Chain A
Amino acid sequence: DTGVSQDPRHKITKRGQNVTFRCDPISEHNRLYWYRQTLGQGPEFLTYFQNEAQLEKSRLLSDRFSAERPKGSFSTLEIQRTEQGDSAMYLCARGDNEQFFGPGTRLTVL
């Protein structure tokens, strides 16, 4: 148990729809990260929160992506107007020196 839960575990949507994923660190932790992983690749950094502040965003995070962490505990990642290229595993991680990943949300855009 890595102390991170994610919901949903799987999401299938049609192109153009909006989707939202949730990440819950079991214990509140200052640092929270979102990564995206496509088949045959390692995870790629998307964004980082320290408490409720979003302090860093990757160039991968287009205008269609938005992330929040309103109370410094759980976080949400929303993708608007989904495209087939958004199909991937979306991973949330907590930690400082060592990052511990949640089980991920696998998104399939048809």
Chain B
Amino acid sequence: GQNIDQPTEMTATEGAIVQINCTYQTSGFNGLFWYQQHAGEAPTFLSYNVLDGLEEKGRFSSFLSRSKGYSYLLLKELQMKDSASYLCAVRGIYSGAGSYQLTFGKGTKLSVIP
């Protein structure tokens, strides 16, 4: 089975940096994903890590440590529009049926305040 943990809520100030952590325990691992989801909308893809280390994409960076079952999403220069839920998702071992299904955590609701 798969178990993914992330904090339920976080609050940060506009212009600051925030780190959202995700820990996972899975029967297999073939990639970790971060998605952003605004209230009432569908998730939008942010980042993908399959190897250890940091992936940087503009104001957003994502880090992975496979040995620790740990990832974080780093958001810099926070803007009010970054207020959203951030979902951590793991892709397990290729099922043989061709599925790359994702298992999601419950999401971290980030509130950016002035």
**Chains A and B form a bound pair:** yes
A56 in contact with B95 (CB, 8 Å) = yes
- Residues from chain B with Cβ under 8 Å of A45 in the complex: 101-103
What's the count of A-B pairs with C-beta under 8 Å?
65
Asked whether A42 and B45 contact (CB < 8 A) given A31-B98, A48-B97, the answer is no
Give the distance in Å from the alpha carbon of A100 to the alpha carbon of B87 in the complex: 14
Is B70 at the interface (CB under 8 A from chain A)? no
In angstroms, how far is the closest chain B Cβ from the Cβ of A100?
6
Is B112 at the interface (CB under 8 A from chain A)? no
Per the 8 Å Cβ criterion, residues 87-110 of A in contact with B are 89, 91, 95-104, 106
Give the distance in Å from the alpha carbon of A101 to the alpha carbon of B104 in the complex: 14
A41 in contact with B103 (CB, 8 Å) = no
Stretch of B11-19, B36-44, B54-62, B76-84 with 4 or more beta carbons under 8 angstroms from chain A: B36-44
A-contacting residues of B (Cβ < 8 Å)? 4, 31, 33, 40-45, 48, 87, 89, 95, 97-107
Q: 25 pairs across A/B with beta carbons < 8 Å?
A: A2-B44, A42-B4, A42-B106, A43-B43, A43-B87, A43-B102, A48-B99, A50-B98, A55-B97, A55-B98, A56-B95, A56-B97, A56-B99, A91-B42, A91-B43, A97-B48, A97-B100, A99-B33, A99-B100, A101-B42, A101-B44, A102-B42, A103-B42, A104-B41, A106-B40
